[in-house]
Chain A
Amino acid sequence: MQTLIDELGRLPGIGPKSAQRIAYYLLKSPAEDANRLAGSITEAKARVTWCQRCFSIAEGELCAYCQDDRRDSTSLCVVEEPRDIVAIERTHEFNGRYHVLQGAISPIEGIGPEQLRVKELLRRVESEEVKEVILATNPNIEGEATAMYLGRLLTPLGIKVTRLASGLPVGGDLEYADEVTLGRAFEGRREVEA
């Protein structure tokens, strides 16, 4: 029982009290319900992996966006997490490809450029037909730092590098921005200075 509570408590956003409540709920529910949950976790873990090209979530070698031939390969949008892609897709402002960094630069947490998919991004920019990179990291300190770092790295390569326009709530997360705000930020993106 305590092992279950401890494991649940390690999940994001779940405190010790919630962990206890969920553990009791699971123990009280029928065996097939608990098995279905355990099974879906195991299955998802086995089937879902990182997309080999953009490092979003994929059920196979490539994710749905990387497989889709109708998308514009000259335009590449860099985000922190796969969930940011969902937020951007809702705006219908973007029809290019994505690149997921899997985080943002955060020295406090010991995360530097080498802990992110930065090398992979550079490789893509060099080997694919990318003409514009849109830096869509979160409008907070870590996201801005990451965008600045990438801007300095990418601008000398002779491609267009843009950053989402302000208007996004500062200090916020992309995933919580509403479609209208995020859509306008996309439309009004500005070029990054070297």
Chain B
Amino acid sequence: METPPGTSVARVELVDFRCYESTHLDLPSGVTVISGDNGEGKTSILEAVVWCALGRSFRGVPDAALVRAGQEEAVVRTFISAPERSRKIEVGLRRTGRNKILLDGKAVPRLRDLIGALRVTVFAPDDLALIKGGPAGRRTFIDELLTTINPRFSGVRADYEKVVRHRNALLRAGGRVNSQSDEGATLEVFNQQLVATGSELLEGRLQLLNQIFPEVQLAYRELAIEPVVLEADYVCDWATSGPNETGLSQTLTREELAKTMRAALSALAGRERERGTTLVGPHRDEWALTLAGLESRSQASQGEQRTLALALRLASHRAVAAAFGQEPVLVLDDVFSELDEYRSAALVERLAAPQTLISTAGPLPFGVEVAARVCVANATARVQ
């Protein structure tokens, strides 16, 4: 594991977060290992740091569940040291009501304005679901990478999701909201917005996949014991026109994508009204990955699936590093217990970051140089 200069988390403070009443850690650059008995404590520290980067728990836990039992609010403060300037993120997670986010002491009105202040790459046991689970996980993977590299898309994505929700409400109400005489005028407006935001998101996704897929293939070859041919296909089931029936060519312009969406909207108008939900658009898409021609989701072995999941994370780490000229902070949550020696060593060898935070219950793979050890016991964490 290399330690290039760059952004790192210099200090993290937790108040009423998970099991911690009040604790703080000063962290060096390089590798910090958090160890202790199995339980919530180790991962919680990583979870708190990652919340400040992604605006959510990387374990998919709702914010209310992060607040310590019997308390109303959990507070996480991270102090980020960077070559250009140091920053401070303070997050107040409320059991009820809106969260409070401060960046350098100033209130951040929307979550998406936090994106970019701290960049992290997370490897976690749940990553297996990226390959094994449904298309939603893969869409989230693409979209989060897209918004990290190009923050404009956090707005596009939020707008698109909002339009889909409005449109679903409209379709459920039969195309008109509390009205006798609308005749589809309101739905037509939301169709336009769906096409505008949806084609922009689609274009972003396709361009990103074009750019990073060679990186994914490379990472897969580096990590697999016996690599086979890895291929990917971006599938739009709703697309009724286009070069092939369901797949979309990755070189389509935004106007062409918009045209495809408009055609699908008129073709599927009847079914959308019947089902009362939006059937057209990138929220329905699948990024299908195949190994030696077989669907990785259902036909690959668990070992191959795990390798592929690692390859996705490694490729995204490199893509973000290339985009900003600086590696994100690496977070490895209990990763090595799930990997054999070969893949652990292969992963460790390829990872580079100014700072790496590792939680582990067992020993580390050979060759990891540790800068600090944190011991977690009885709901307190201490640097040794």
Contact = CB atoms under 8 A, between A and B. Distances in A.
Contacts of B181: 114
A111 interface: yes
B97 A15 contact: yes
Interface string A135-167: 000000110110011001100000000000000
B169 A107 contact: yes
B71 interface: no
Interface string A109-139: 0111111000000000000000000000000
A149 B193 CA distance: 11
A112 B178 contact: yes
Interface size class of A (residues with CB under 8 A): 20 to 34
A115 B189 contact: no
A17 B73 CA distance: 12
B106 to A, nearest CB: 14
B173 interface: yes
A113 B182 contact: yes
Contacts of B178: 110-112, 114-115
A105 interface: yes
User: Which residue among A106, A114, A141, A153 has the maximum number of chain B CB atoms within 10 Å of its CB?
Assistant: A141
A148 B163 contact: no
B185 interface: yes
B190 interface: yes
Nearest to A149: B189
A16 B192 CA distance: 40
Interface string A77-117: 00000000000000000000000000001111011111100
A110 B169 CA distance: 8
A107 B179 contact: no
A188 interface: no
Interface in B149-189: 155, 158-159, 162-163, 165-167, 169-170, 173, 176-179, 181-182, 185-186, 188-189
A122 B189 CA distance: 18
A170 B160 CA distance: 13
A94 B194 CA distance: 33
Contacts of B170: 107
Interface string A169-189: 011000000000000000000
Main DSSP-derived SS at the A contact region: helix
B159 A171 contact: yes
A145 B177 contact: no
A108 B189 contact: no
B85 interface: no
Nearest to A152: B185
Contact of A113 (B72, B166, B167, B179): B179
Nearest to A13: B98
User: Which residue among A105, A106, A107, A108 has the maximum number of chain B CB atoms within 10 Å of its CB?
Assistant: A107
B378 interface: no
Contacts of B155: 170-171
A175 B110 CA distance: 16
Contacts of A153: 185
B186 A107 contact: yes
B177 A107 contact: yes
A108 B169 contact: yes
12 contacts: A17-B72, A107-B166, A107-B186, A108-B166, A114-B178, A114-B179, A114-B181, A141-B163, A144-B193, A145-B166, A153-B185, A170-B159
